[in-house]
Amino acid sequence: MEFRKIFDSIPEQFDKWRPRYCDEAFSDIIQYAKLDTDKTVLEIGPGTGQATEPILKTGSSYLAIELGEHLAEFTKNKFSSYPNFHIVNSDFETHDFGQQNFDLVYSAATIQWIPEEVGFPKVYDLLKSGGTFAMMMTRTDYKTPNEEMFAKIQDVYNKYFYPAYNYSCSLAYSNVDKHGFVDFECRNYHKARELNADEFVLYIGTHCDHIALEEPLRTSFFDGIRNVILGMGNKILLNDNIVLYLAKKPYSPI
């Protein structure tokens, strides 16, 4: 399987256990891009729609492009009641959008899978004059609130975590200014979650390199994580930092 399509193998689990973003982040995107029923939006790689519904509720004309066949079908069914929802199962890097352009192009934990020299220029070309580019992701810290537990969990990683593929995607988000964008800024929002042992195992099971972990290591790894948390009260705290990057395509008077 192509590694960037690995989430396509677990659409139901992905939908249930991936963390959600916060209302404040969506409010900021909607206000920043001035979304309403006259605006057009493209979401790159919606997965199962963790960042989709608040944008749909603005009434904007929404298009998603999703690489995974099963994810695209799942998300199509999930949002079928919204007449402004449209999705295409295709590769953003190579898809021909024809004459389409958008007031907002955004991604939630997706754009880092696309090389900067491909993704940033293509987004720029797809945006209307003065359009908004938004990128968001969640960075989770479970070390700080669980120091002793974290150390024991790391022992399990060291013993069993040798996945078939390693996640190596990285992106310098501030480099948008090298591709013509202006007014780059970063905003942060904070949430906390509490999971039990089974929930935490299901949650980390949606991470791409964890999906790639094969037997016989896979069972031993997840059992080891579960047993650490069970042995320390069956509760683990997670601090989520939701990061939102915003930028604009310069306005060009006609």
Q: Is residue 130 a part of any domain in this protein?
A: yes
What CATH number did the domain enclosing 75 receive?
A: 3.40.50.150
Element (H, E) at 43: strand 40-44
- Asked if the structure places residue 35 within a domain, the reply is yes
Q: How many domains does the chain have?
A: 1
- Find, among 189, 83, 85, 176, the residue nearest to 136 by Cα: 189
Range of the domain at 115: 3-140+167-191+239-248
Contacts of 102 (CB under 8 A, 6+ apart): 40, 41, 42, 63, 126, 127, 128, 131
pLDDT given for residue 74 in this prediction? 97
Locate 242 and state its tokens: 């939701």
* The pLDDT value given to residue 167: 74
The verdict on residue 67 lying in a domain is: yes
d(CA 36, CA 117): 31
C-alpha distances (whole Å) from 106 to each of 36, 88, 209, 245 are 16, 15, 24, 10
164 CA to centre of own chain? 22
Is 157 within the bounds of a domain? no
CB-based burial, 137-151: b 16+ in 10 Å, e otherwise? bbeeebeeebeebbe
Per residue of the chain (254 residues), what is the pLDDT tens digit?
577 788 999 999 999 999 999 999 999 999 999 999 999 999 999 999 999 999 999 999 999 999 999 999 999 999 999 999 999 999 999 999 999 999 999 999 999 999 999 999 999 999 999 999 999 999 999 999 999 999 999 999 999 999 987 777 789 999 999 999 999 999 999 999 999 999 999 999 999 999 999 999 999 999 999 999 999 999 999 999 999 999 999 998 76
Query: Within a domain: residue 83?
Result: yes
Question: Helix 147-160 to helix 217-230 angle, to the nearest 10 degrees?
Answer: 170
* pLDDT for the residue numbered 54: 98
State whether the Cα torsion 24-187-64-74 is positive or negative. Answer: negative
In a domain, 26, yes or no: yes
221 within domain boundaries = no
Rounded to whole angstroms, the Cα distance separating 240 from 195 reads: 13
In a domain, 201, yes or no: no
